[in-house]
Amino acid sequence: MRPNKKTPFRLVTLSSVMALLSPSNAKSEISPSDQSSIFSPPAIVTLTNTEKSLAFPHFDYFASTLESSTLISQLQTHLSVSTTEKAYSEFAWSLLPDIHRQIAQALVLWVNAPDIKQDKDRLRLRSRIAVAYAARNFTPFWIEASGWRENAASTLSRLINAKEDGLDLRAFKLPSIEKFQPQAIDELALSEAIAAYALQARGARVDPGQLSKLIGARPSLPDLKNTLSEVAEANARAGDRLLSFNPKHEGYQKLRQKLTELYQIQAAQPTARRVAEATDGLLQSDMQLTTSAFVHKNKTGKRSHIEAEIIANMERWRWLPGDLGETHIEVNIPDFELALVRNGVIAHRTRVIVGKEITPTPIFSDEMEYIIVNPYWNVPQSIIHKEMMPNGGPGEGFKVSYSHGQIVVRQPPGPSNALGNMKFVFPNDYAVYMHDTQSRHLFAQSHRAFSHGCMRVQNPFALAAAILGDSWPTKKLEKLIGPTERYINLVKPLPVHVEYFTTYVDNNGKIVQRPDLYGYSARVRRALGLES
């Protein structure tokens, strides 16, 4: 249909493209009439992004799976292409370079390929990639008239070695860089593998919230449209740009190095598999493994426990913020330890007591804002009803009141206060914090899971002094002990990361394994398909 010359012609390109991409409209080729209604060249059009809240590819990887048609209907109203009143779409189509038209045609069949028809995640991924291409008028990222661009070889090298990054791209068929004349389908296959790598590298394979409601960590997923552009624009260093989507944290990098060493040993010593079958799961008595003690896949092809554990712990590093903070606190639950890190160096380390198996300490990140000396203990409702009331009530020394129809129990500061002399506050959704304790003898035990969820600190005054700096030495803090709450506000909020790493590499380069206290590591292994 020709535009009315009296009014500007508006061609909703993405809407038409997505209509063709829906399974019910899949065709072996695009007819001239279809061509004239869906494509416009860069030379005479302006792409206008009118969306307010939807950004590529911010569909929720962790929400219930959307049907492709539902996703398309959400997207098609957000992008439009405006042409001048005399510009006819037939002419616009004719101006598109051949490779652009080939990609546009290939997209229709590619999104509706029979082999992914039942794979909702692949359908969503390809639909998003289709949107990214439509937004750039189907300009290729990786190929040109003369063949592959230099960015293609660089990215393929990284993708081929994705397993060293703890990722799994086996479901994606990579194109051959040796192919002299790559086709549009090769372009799309490479884009899909790159997008999948970037998403996996940022933690899209596992939804932490589905493992436990007490895991508040959420991966930060990349914008696919920008991802493909950024990687492509890196040219010869495109592989390095793709690699950068993985965590940069030292703990992750050390595990990655061990995983690489494991695969190198496996490749160099095939007979090690027979040894592995006899030794798989055995650890040194001090819970440390040297590189030579790595175990490999057994005869059935199943991953060894240590290999699966390394990958599962690498995955949990993807849950953390990219920037932990120049100065920050890390609490590793399975290790029962807290570390104050300043400029990459541990400035203070101390033992902690964490939640019992039935009352786990939540896994999350937040910011410490202040410290309380001589804190009140506001008894949680769960403790009031499950422990105090069945045993005759709160007991002597507690203040009891009623508010909004429920019992409120508080324990004043003093030598019997359950929180001891100090409380470290980082407001969060779980109402947990760090504090002193009256049960200091428990720190002598190696397995320190005794609390209701909060973290008890062995040397609270030393930790506070390390946090606050020279203006608050330990002796000055101890002089504040008394019957009245004393608040000390931090000059700058301090990031606190409560983590769950059952396998890590120590400062001597040895692998350390800790018990899977809450069973989270086993759940991650299963979610990643690392064990049956």
CATH number at residue 444: 2.40.440.10
Q: Which of 311, 290, 316 is nearest to 531 (CA)?
A: 311
Are both 300 and 439 inside the same structural domain?
no
For residues 76 and 13, give the distance between their C-alpha atoms in angstroms, rounded to a whole number. 9
Among 214, 222, 76, which Cα is nearest to 135's? 76
Q: How confident is the model at residue 351 (pLDDT cuts 50, 70, 90)?
A: very high
Say whether pLDDT at 324 is over 70.
yes
- Determine which of 240-249, 254-263, 295-304, 305-314 has the lowest per-residue pLDDT on average: 295-304
| Residue 178 covered by a domain | yes
Cα 37 to Cα 44: distance, rounded to the nearest angstrom: 15
Q: Mark whether 303 and 285 lie in a shared domain.
A: yes
The pLDDT of residue 4: 44
Instruction: Specify the number of domains making up the chain.
Output: 3
C-alpha 466/C-alpha 344 separation (Å) is 15
Could you report the per-residue pLDDT of 115-126, keeping only the tens digit for each?
A: 898 899 999 999
Q: Does the CA dihedral 129-221-62-74 come out positive or negative?
A: negative
- Residue 290 has a pLDDT of 41
Rounded Cα–Cα distance for residues 160 and 156 (Å): 6
Task: Identify whether residues 239 and 278 lie together within a single domain.
Answer: no
Pair 174, 65 in one domain: yes
Do 157 and 297 lie in a common domain? no
CB atoms < 10 A from the CB of 484, how many?
Answer: 9
Q: Which two tokens stand for residue 11?
A: 């061609």
Tokens encoding 126: 């390809």
If asked whether residues 150 and 48 sit together in one domain, one would say: yes
pLDDT of residue 276: 52
pLDDT at 91: 61
Q: Averaged over 138-159, what is the pLDDT?
A: 95
Residue 234 included in any domain: yes
C-beta of residue 196 within 8 angstroms of C-beta of residue 165 = no
Higher pLDDT, 314 or 29: 314
Name the nearest CA neighbour of 124 among 53, 57, 221.
Answer: 57
**How many angstroms separate the CA atoms of 313 and 500, rounded?**
8
Whether residues 205 and 255 fall in one domain = no
Token pair, residue 214, equals 């007490």
Query: Does 89 map to a domain?
Result: yes
Q: Cα 471 to the chain's mean position, in Å?
A: 38
Q: What is the pLDDT of residues 152-193, one digit of tens each?
A: 999 999 999 999 999 999 999 999 988 878 999 999 999 999
> Quick check: 339 pLDDT over 80?
yes
Residue type present at position 417: N
Shared domain for 355 and 210, answered yes or no, is no
Assess contact for 178 and 501: CB atoms under 8 A: no
Q: What is the pLDDT of residue 56?
A: 34
- 141 and 192 in contact (C-beta within 8 Å)? no
Q: Which residue has the higher pLDDT, 351 or 289?
A: 351
Q: Is residue 248 helix, strand or coil?
A: coil
Taking only the tens place, the pLDDT of each residue in 71-124 is 343 333 333 333 333 333 566 666 777 889 899 989 989 998 998 988 999 999
pLDDT band at 303 (very low <50, low <70, confident <90, very high): low
Q: Is residue 392 part of a domain?
A: no
Q: CA-based Rg of the chain, rounded to a whole angstrom?
A: 29
Residues 272 and 355 placed together within one structural domain of the fold: no
Q: Indicate whether 419 belongs to any domain.
A: yes
What band does 247 get if pLDDT is binned at 50, 70 and 90? very high
Rounded to 5°, the CA angle 172-175-178 comes to 155
- Are 277 and 331 contained in the same domain? no
Going by C-beta distance under 8 Å and a sequence separation of 6 or more, which residues neighbour residue 479? none
* Tokens read off for 74: 């959400």
Whether 5 is covered by a domain: the verdict is: no
| DSSP bridge partners of 147 | 144
Kind of pairing between the strands at 288-289 and 422-425: unpaired
Q: How many Å apart are CA 427 and CA 366, to the nearest integer?
A: 7
| CA pair distance 87, 306, nearest whole angstrom | 63
How far is the C-alpha of 319 from the C-alpha of 326, rounded, in Å? 18
pLDDT at residue 302, as a whole number: 52
Instruction: Please give the residue range of the domain that contains residue 297.
Output: 250-318+510-527
Q: What H or E segment, with its residue span, contains residue 268? A: helix 250-268
Q: Show the 3-state SS of 99-159.
A: HHHHHHHHHHHHHCCHHHCCCHHHHHHHHHHHHHHHHCCCCCCCEECCEECHHHHHHHHHH
pLDDT at 72: 40
303 or 431, which is more confident: 431
Residues 431 and 488 in one domain: yes
Helix (H) or strand (E) run with residue 330 in it: strand 327-332
Closest CA to 463 of 348, 329, 346: 348
38 and 92 fall within a common domain: yes
Has residue 386 been placed in a domain? no
Alpha helices (H) in 272-393, listed in sequence order: 272-279, 305-317, 381-383
Name the nearest CA neighbour of 320 among 202, 413, 407, 427: 202
Number of residues in the chain: 532
Report residue 318 as tokens. Answer: 């993807």
Residue 299 lies in a domain: yes
Q: Give the per-residue pLDDT at 179.
A: 80
